[in-house]
Chain A
Amino acid sequence: MSVDASAPGARAAADGTGRRPEVPAQRAGRRGRAPLSENKKAERRLGWLLCAPAALVMVLVTAYPIGYSVWLSLQRFDLRFPDQREFVGLENYVTVLTNEFWWTAFGVTALITVVTVAVELVLGMGLALIMHRTLVGRGIVRTAALIPYGIVTVVAAFSWRYAWTPGTGYLANLFGDGAPLTERASSLAIVMLAEIWKTTPFMALLLMAGLALVPEDLLKAASTDGATGWQRFTKVMLPVMKPAILVALLFRTLDAFRVFDNIFVLTAGGNETSSVSMLAYNNLIRGLNLGIGSTMSVLIFLTVAVIAFVFVKLFGTAAPGSDDSERR
């Protein structure tokens, strides 16, 4: 795995250029051979050249629009009344932050995020254990579990919608005669069900990768020492899996906060079931209000940044990225 140990040597040989001893780079100590300055420079240039297109696209399509979004959020800018465009400072922020629709949507999004991520962690752990340890049909389980991950969210959402539609659906009469998608609590429950069905496999896959890191010997040793299954799980597996669990939680939390597709298809945001994404979409496409829409964009961005920051603090050094790619 550790490419950095072998790469410089392989490269020097591959280049076949003359080797002139040069100022030892940090690597030199490890390898016991001084890298070459010209090679080094060429390597840097090649590295930058190869990364430039990817970096450029990523920055152009995210950093610039976010900056532009901040600028738009400081203006009154409604495409239906383009003449009235003017700089209004933080007025849009006051409008949004004192608006009850925003807070309702924020509450809905937070609720969906917390509930789905919590349930998915438990179910995902179960599924990961099944996929990792099952004695029979491992291939079938893994394939089946991948299907919800691969399926277009909108398709799955339609499936759930029709399942709960009175008359059409096989689930509609499960809890009496009502129409579950026309009431707030039951709609939210169905949205969460759809989210959980769709994304548990992803959570499980990340956790399974963590499970694979648990040394089998350690489990056997614990077993010989008389540890019960539950003790082996909490005392041996969980500590080893902690980084994988945190990665999975981080990705899923941020992903859950963006919930949009399921709500769009299942309730269209009716009965106060809009998420913040739904609300931003409605302001932009239905309302054509770029100022308010951008303000919401910026607020969502800030919220996600705070969530990510808190998680990275929790991670400490286990955070992916804090550790460069040459870890192993």
Chain B
Amino acid sequence: MAETTTRAKLRWGLLDVIVVVFALVPVLWIASLSFKTPGTLTDGRFWPREWTLDNYRTIFETDQFVRALANSIGIALIATAIAVVLGAMAAYAISRLDFPGKKLLVGVSLLIAMFPQVSLVSPLFEIERQLGLFDTWPGLILPYITFALPLAIYTLSAFFKQIPWDLEKAAKMDGATQGQAFRRVIAPLAAPGLFTTAILVFIFCWNDFLFAITLTSTERARTVPVALSFFTGESQFEDPTGAICAAAVVITVPIILFVLFFQRRIVSGLTSGAVKG
């Protein structure tokens, strides 16, 4: 028996290793490229022979990248904050209150989760041009909120349904005011759900490329993924590969940190939203 478990452990361990390698190789590769010197960039080897930080220095000296990074952070944070607040309100209503039209709202948000975003590209381009929203922060924040809301509503209502709301009643019986009951009892219970949802929504906004490339035209609102695809290097003859890779690593680091620290929460958020509906 002991022998079989050791063998089973080895087998599972081997499978684990395959998964980890498969998941990490493209990430390590782009990180490795970002540390290569221009001379060794095209040697085709997986690990750098000579290490340099020049690529990082270059990108942080170019206005193009710094502006895009500021845009990305600002737009993603604002969109996340608004989507989580609106989503929390709707999710509270869906999980706690009884009112006609609830099913409709759940249905509509599901439809939007499946909506082909590219179908909005042409009309939004024209509408935002007329409204003066084209190439501005709100011009990107609005579609991001829209497509983040279904995710936020699903995840949050799944979380809210697990909160033992009777505790609120109990706190009040013990003499707490409505405000205290909310602050001391309900808010701490709801916080992990809100936080998880915020991470998922942030990843969504951070990742977007389609809206960012169609609804912006200058550095005013261009986000990093789009700026990356337009990187040309300082001069016509300079290969931008190193700079692109360095920029790619910079925008990947926050996501990797989120994943490392909040793995369990992200998994529960994604799955509760999608399956427990």
Contact = CB atoms under 8 A, between A and B. Distances in A.
A298 B103 CA distance: 26
Nearest to B199: A150
Given A140-B16, A162-B241, A325 B89 contact: no
Contacts of A323: 277
B1 interface: no
B19 A127 contact: yes
B190 interface: no
B26 interface: yes
A137 interface: yes
A69 B271 CA distance: 34
Most chain A CB atoms below 10 A, which of B45, B94, B224: B94
Contact of B96 (A3, A65, A258): A3
A290 interface: yes
B15 A134 contact: yes
B187 interface: no
Contacts of B102: 47, 51, 324-325
Contacts of A328: 161, 276
Interface residues of A, number: 116
A126 B115 CA distance: 28
A290 B128 CA distance: 13
Interface residues of B, number: 111
A141 B16 contact: yes
B114 A250 contact: yes
Interface of A: 1, 3-4, 6-8, 10-11, 13-14, 25, 27, 40, 43-44, 46-48, 50-51, 53-55, 57-59, 61-62, 64-66, 68-69, 72, 127, 130, 133-137, 139-156, 158-160, 162-163, 167-170, 172-173, 197, 201-202, 205-206, 208-210, 212, 243-244, 247-248, 250-251, 254, 257-258, 260-261, 264-265, 276-277, 280-281, 284-285, 290, 293-294, 296-298, 300-301, 303-304, 308, 320-321, 323-325, 327-328
The 5 closest A-B pairs by CB, nearest first: A47-B99, A209-B271, A65-B123, A50-B93, A293-B122
